[in-house]
A and B are shown apart, each in its own frame.
Chain A
Amino acid sequence: MLRLHYNLEKLSMGLVGAIIVAASIGGLVEIAPLFTIDETVAVPDDLRPHTPLELAGREIYIREGCYACHSQMVRSLADEIDRYGPYSLAGESAYDHPMLWGSKRTGPDLARLGGKYSDLWHVEHLVDPRSVVPASIMPAYPWLARPLDTGLLHDKLATLARLGVPYDEAMIAAAKTDALAQSRPDSDGAEAVTVRYGGKVAVRAFDGDPETLTEMDAVVAYLQSLGTLTEAPYRVLAEDRP
């Protein structure tokens, strides 16, 4: 064991070294410039982070593996722009840890989903997809009717803030109450949500029931927020197509 270092003769170590050198170049050349990409990719001025409720919905979207069948990345191709909407900008997902661009469209792209359907449609579609879209092959998610666990929301916002997402102290402190208030438009905290996250944030009883905060509230709030966090893609597309 002590002669280990001596025994690792030059050939095997040389081989190891050469493999590391050969394999790191590509990564360095391709990835290193992306670390400075903020110099070239502008984060849109009006980009807002997800509200706590939308973030909770995003976590459920991840938990259920929705990203395996739905992309959130409209490519800069004519048919995709016609089908889904303005093509996705790099800056749009600047606060997304992780990104959910996806790699497969067993179902349609969701990058521009927000506002396309009513809350009720989403609820029925998630509980029983074939009740609203008979030819759908999406699985049903009836268990989303259970109450939302907000226990970790405060820590999640704090963690994301440490990673550079612009959640301020007030947002972090109010994470739980904001999540609840966003699904209760008549409650006292409802206005505070729009103050903190902007007037365009949807404050509604997403699952139709303001009494209990469910996972359904969170998922629908998240789905309705897709593509609405910034106007930038619409501006850029309008400039492209005068």
Chain B
Amino acid sequence: MTHDLLVYLSKTVGLVWLMGFFVIVVIRTYSPSRRRAYEAAARSILPDAEETR
């Protein structure tokens, strides 16, 4: 492992990793099929979970 190789890897794989990670997270978070589950989760901590809706 030379210094130049490590820097090169940082600048390429690191970048791809960053973008890929971002895309995966956005898809998982905003996929319409998960909407209901997330909304239920947001209400799960409130005592009157059912009454509010």
Q: Which residues of A contact B (CB under 8 A)?
A: 22, 25, 29-30, 32-33, 36-37, 39-40
Contact = CB atoms under 8 A, between A and B. Distances in A.
Contact of A36 (B3, B18, B21): B3
B30 to A, nearest CB: 17
B17 A25 contact: yes
B interface secondary structure, majority? helix
Contacts of B9: 29
B14 A40 contact: no
A160 B6 CA distance: 28
A73 B17 CA distance: 34
Given A22-B21, A25-B17, A25-B18, A30 B3 contact: no
Given A29-B14, A40-B3, 5 more contacts: A25-B14, A29-B10, A32-B6, A32-B10, A33-B7
Instruction: Determine the interface band of chain B, counting residues with CB < 8 A from chain A.
Output: 10 to 19
Interface string B4-29: 00110110001001100100000000
Contacts of A36: 1-3, 6
Nearest to A37: B3
The 9 tightest CB contacts between A and B, nearest first, are A36-B3, A29-B10, A29-B14, A33-B6, A39-B3, A33-B7, A40-B3, A32-B6, A25-B17
Contacts of A40: 3
Contacts of B21: 22, 25
A33 B13 CA distance: 14
A30 B10 contact: yes
Nearest to B13: A29
A26 to B, nearest CB: 9
A82 to B, nearest CB: 33
A32 B2 CA distance: 11
Contacts of B1: 36
Contacts of A29: 9-10, 14
A209 B50 CA distance: 82
B23 to A, nearest CB: 14
A22 B21 CA distance: 8
A39 B14 contact: no
B26 to A, nearest CB: 14
B41 to A, nearest CB: 12
A39 B18 CA distance: 27
Contacts of A33: 3, 6-7, 10
Pick the most buried of A22, A36, A39: most chain B CB atoms within 10 A of its CB. A36
A32 B7 CA distance: 9
A36 B9 CA distance: 13
A176 B7 CA distance: 44
6 contacts: A25-B14, A25-B17, A29-B14, A33-B7, A36-B1, A39-B3
